[in-house]
Amino acid sequence: MSQAQPVSNRHIFNHAYVWLFLGFICYALPWSVFAAEATTLLRIQGSNTIGDKLAPALVSGLFESQGFSNVRTEAGAENEQRVLAEDKLGRSLRVDIAAHGSSTGFAGLQSGGAELAAASRPIKDSEVVSLGSLGDMRSAKAEQVIAIDGLAIIVNPNNPVRALTTEQLAAVFAGEIKDWSAVGGKPGAITVYARDNNSGTYDTFKELVLAAHGKSLAPAAKRFESSNQLSDGVSQDAGGIGFIGLPYVRKSKPLAVADGESQPMLPSTTLIATEDYPLSRRLFLYNPPNTPNEWVQALVQFAHSAAGQAIVAENGFIPQTVQAVKVEPNAAMPEEYRKLAGEAQRLSVNFRFQEGSAELDNKAQRDLTRVLEYLKTHDKLRQKAVLVGFGDPKNDPARAALLSKLRAMAVRRDLSKGGVIFRDITGMGQQMPVAANSADEGRIKNRRVEVWVY
């Protein structure tokens, strides 16, 4: 039987050195280097407005609802994050979120680099075509409205200007109006701040303000990928003006905005929820309609749930939860409407329609369920609800009034299936516009149906 060989002092030293070195490496490097690689469940790309806080919060909420533990968010590259957790079997899971602008989300779907596109504006015709192989990206299965946001026009807190029209805004951001004195402010140069070209926030502003008035953004505008940096820059610049999502107003001052014949409106919660505020917008998640990824559907359904909409509110956006709101009557209202406002309350939702169609749009289809649930819960099913339809101008005002009432009757048809018996249904035609009728976007917003309850 062989004997163990003696170990030399040099051999002992070498072993000790190796273990000391390994101990140093283990101490210096994070434990995650040695842990099992986390399984990626989902990749979300797109809007900075959604991806900055809302998307990570919704993913975290979904993980917690599944009973996962150690839910946390880690920063990656600039404007990129990952949400990590461990499931009940101890397996590491992750969702990757890259927030570089709405257009990058649709590019990610096309390249296969993402399963969900986050967008702060509707999908474009060109994107629908390029993603045609994935299915109808405008269908109810593909397009999900998860929140409402208001595009706030912000200035320095000490700026005396209180309101601007979209026409004035277009001229300011195009660089045609260069001094605050031209719009009722103190003399001083105007500095324009804007989001970058990948941003859905910029796309929305460009469509609702610039393009609507035949303008383009001034080449000298300061551009930002980060919403927070833009807002902070405006708040510190006496001559600054910018546009931003409502949660990013921060220390800046929002202005009231008027469009066409509408009254100037501040971006209040109620006016944004009903999408009456001229620069209100929808926040979307888009997914291939027949996606096999179960986590896509799980996140979408969670975002629509009461828990998901509570997270929407916690992050500064406007949830789609239905509430009754008191509207103060005023002399500018038609007599019939003023009487209604004095006796009833308005629900915080408007039904709108697909472009060029009498069919309700995807959001309105979900709003039917929300409104019906509200009416049931608050005992408003019988003779307690009123539908008021509105539209855009026609050559014959009587025809405009008829079409607006027909829109209200379309909503009645769907809600009646749930047992609602309405107290009244009326059409107010082209009265009380909330947007200019000079562009399709404005006409679509004016074609709406309000719900009032006694």
Question: Which domain range does residue 410 map to?
Answer: 322-453
Hey, is 70 helix, strand or coil?
Answer: strand
Q: Indicate whether 191 belongs to any domain.
A: yes
* Model pLDDT, residue 36: 61
Beta strands in 236-359 (DSSP E): 240-245, 253-254, 256-258, 280-286, 324-325, 345-352
Span 208-234, average pLDDT:
95
From 273, 291, 312, give the residue that closes a domain. 273
Say which range, 220-234, 244-258, 435-449, has the weakest mean pLDDT: 435-449
Residue 132 has φ and ψ, to the nearest 5°, of -60, -30
When comparing pLDDT for 132 and 443, which is higher?
132
Measured CA distances, 435 to 277, 284, 444, 445 (Å): 8, 22, 9, 7
Cα angle 275, 281, 286 (rounded to 5 degrees) comes to: 125
> Looking at the 3D structure of the chain, how many domains does it have?
2
User: Which DSSP symbol is given to 328?
Assistant: -
Q: Indicate whether 315 belongs to any domain.
A: no
Mean pLDDT of the chain: 91
Residue 15 has pLDDT above 70, yes or no: no
Looking at the structure, do residues 332 and 269 belong to the same domain, yes or no?
no
CB 189 within 8 A of CB 178: yes
Residue 229 has φ and ψ, to the nearest 5°, of -65, -40
Query: Burial of 130 by CB count in 10 Å (0-12 exposed, 13-18 middle, 19+ buried)?
Result: middle
pLDDT digits (tens, 9 = 90+) for 265-291: 999 888 999 999 999 989 999 999 999
- CATH number, domain containing residue 351: 3.30.1330.60
Q: What percent of the chain is predicted at pLDDT more than 90?
A: 79
Q: Indicate whether 10 belongs to any domain.
A: no
Q: Indicate whether 168 belongs to any domain.
A: yes
Span 127-140, average pLDDT:
97
- CA end-to-end distance (rounded Å), the chain: 100
Looking at the structure, do residues 332 and 435 belong to the same domain, yes or no?
yes
Q: Indicate whether 259 belongs to any domain.
A: yes
Q: Which two tokens stand for residue 111?
A: 């390249």
Query: Burial of 178 by CB count in 10 Å (0-12 exposed, 13-18 middle, 19+ buried)?
Result: middle
Q: Indicate whether 78 belongs to any domain.
A: no
* Model pLDDT, residue 357: 78
Residue 50 has pLDDT above 90, yes or no: yes
Looking at the structure, do residues 261 and 378 belong to the same domain, yes or no?
no
Query: Burial of 270 by CB count in 10 Å (0-12 exposed, 13-18 middle, 19+ buried)?
Result: middle
Measured CA distances, 337 to 180, 217, 258, 352, 375 (Å): 37, 39, 21, 19, 21
- CATH number, domain containing residue 202: 3.40.190.10
Query: Burial of 273 by CB count in 10 Å (0-12 exposed, 13-18 middle, 19+ buried)?
Result: buried
Looking at the structure, do residues 449 and 326 belong to the same domain, yes or no?
yes
C-alpha Rg value of the chain to the nearest Å? 27
**Residue 32 pLDDT class (50, 70, 90 cuts):** very low
Looking at the structure, do residues 330 and 254 belong to the same domain, yes or no?
no
Chain centroid offset of residue 294 CA: 23
Looking at the structure, do residues 340 and 445 belong to the same domain, yes or no?
yes
Looking at the structure, do residues 340 and 252 belong to the same domain, yes or no?
no
CA-nearest of 250, 266, 287 to 146 is: 287
* Model pLDDT, residue 438: 76
Task: Count CA atoms closer than 13 A to 337's CA, side-chain side.
Answer: 19
* Model pLDDT, residue 16: 46
**Residue 382 pLDDT class (50, 70, 90 cuts):** very high
Looking at the structure, do residues 261 and 202 belong to the same domain, yes or no?
yes
Q: CA 304, CA 332: separation in Å to the nearest integer?
A: 36
From 273, 304, 338, give the residue that closes a domain. 273
Looking at the structure, do residues 386 and 263 belong to the same domain, yes or no?
no
* Model pLDDT, residue 208: 86
CB 442 within 8 A of CB 260: yes
The neighbouring-strand residues paired with 379 are none
Put residue 407 in one of left, alpha, beta given phi > 0 → left and psi -120 to 50 → alpha: alpha
Locate all alpha helices (DSSP H) within 285-396, ordered by sequence.
Answer: 294-304, 306-314, 335-343, 362-377
Residue 176 has pLDDT above 60, yes or no: yes
When comparing pLDDT for 20 and 329, which is higher?
329
Residue 435 has pLDDT above 90, yes or no: no
CB 149 within 8 A of CB 49: yes
Locate all alpha helices (DSSP H) within 198-334, ordered by sequence.
Answer: 200-205, 227-235, 269-273, 294-304, 306-314
Residue 401 has pLDDT above 50, yes or no: yes
CA-nearest of 280, 229, 290, 308 to 55 is: 308
Looking at the structure, do residues 354 and 434 belong to the same domain, yes or no?
yes
| Residue whose tokens read 């990757």 | 96
When comparing pLDDT for 6 and 171, which is higher?
171
pLDDT digits (tens, 9 = 90+) for 288-338: 999 999 999 999 999 999 999 999 999 989 999 999 999 999 998 999 999
**Residues in Cβ contact with 347 at an 8 Å cutoff, skipping those fewer than 6 apart:** 322, 323, 324, 325, 371, 374, 450, 451, 452, 453
Looking at the structure, do residues 266 and 338 belong to the same domain, yes or no?
no
Q: Indicate whether 282 belongs to any domain.
A: no
Looking at the structure, do residues 265 and 347 belong to the same domain, yes or no?
no
Q: Indicate whether 136 belongs to any domain.
A: no
Residue 439 has φ and ψ, to the nearest 5°, of -135, 160
From 256, 273, 290, give the residue that closes a domain. 273
**Residues in Cβ contact with 105 at an 8 Å cutoff, skipping those fewer than 6 apart:** 44, 45, 46, 47, 114, 116, 117, 118, 119, 286
